[in-house]
Structure 1
């Protein structure tokens, strides 16, 4: 007899979404208050509900990361029709800095050890981000708004390098965005 998978109840889906948002906010900031209990409390659920949805810290980390990447990909789809390609690219990269900021906090708080599942997720999500930004770069190059010698890999490598060479703390995000803006200005041909 085949087992029939039921569709999750709407309240369970809402709880899952609230847990992901709470984890992004609390664990993404790191610090001593960043516990799974605090995540459950912020989401308005019990710790058992958190573990039902995310049986391991890694599962929670991957869910938050995947959610953030999906939002960036949706944002890029909306930006693809923008007339000003460099401005659209700048908006998207500023949002990507937010993902890196969250990921840094999550890594510090969760002490995630990389497993084959998480490696596969990171490779998949990285490829999707590269594809998303590559389309906008290609359009900017076709319109002669961006230098033709910069690739999506170049752009993302630079972003990650700038993000990870700056020490986290007050002023981190504005410093990173300022440096990225300088880099983007150098890519713009107009």
Structure 2
């Protein structure tokens, strides 16, 4: 929200965001923008003025969660085993994404990247925060050199979106994440 907004516009933004958090929590990324506007007591044009795209709304709703994941990545950087630290963080991203409906959608890539106004700020923040974790694991030989944080976030998003309608999405997503990490070969 731009600081130069009028007081009523700031109040509208705050009210819309609070309602959007509840709607996204209840309905995920498919939350109705019209319902958000009605519940917030504003017109749909006001919602679209503050959040020109669904992604912009999801990113705003996910902002606190994304910041917590960024802080956690920084906390884990330099901790013990570099592979274990990276996998712990990724496991937390999976768990957070499963519990925070709409977060996986906010992290997904939609091809809008040509216009920086629509850049995926959630993924960009996570990529920046986790890059030192990944670089350390690569340097230690614990992760392949061609892996990127963007690859890992895409993997997490795929797992979370694929399991969101499962009766126990958290357990299923965790299982698939660990399967992806371990690979298909039997453990020896």
1:43-62 matches, cutoff 5 A: 45-48=40-43, 51-55=45-49, 59=52, 61-62=54-55
TM-score (norm 1): 0.60
Provide the C-alpha distance between the structure 1 equivalents of 2:134 and 2:93, rounded to a whole number of angstroms. 12
Provide the aligned length of Structure 1 versus Structure 2.
Answer: 169
1:7-22 matches, cutoff 5 A: 7-10=4-7, 12-22=9-19
What is the aligned partner in structure 1 of residue 57 from structure 2? 64
Q: Offset at 1:23?
A: 1.9
What is the aligned partner in structure 2 of residue 158 from structure 1? 155
1:102-117 matches, cutoff 5 A: 102=102
Runs of 5+ unmatched residues, structure 2 = 184-188
Cα RMSD (Å): 4.2
CA deviation vs aligned residue, 1:61-113 (integer Å, no higher than 9, x gap):
233222255435422431212336243342234224456x416789xxxxxx9
What is the aligned partner in structure 1 of residue 96 from structure 2? 95
Runs of 5+ unmatched residues, structure 1 = 107-112
Provide the C-alpha distance between the structure 2 equivalents of 1:70 and 1:154, rounded to a whole number of angstroms. 21
TM-score (norm 2): 0.60
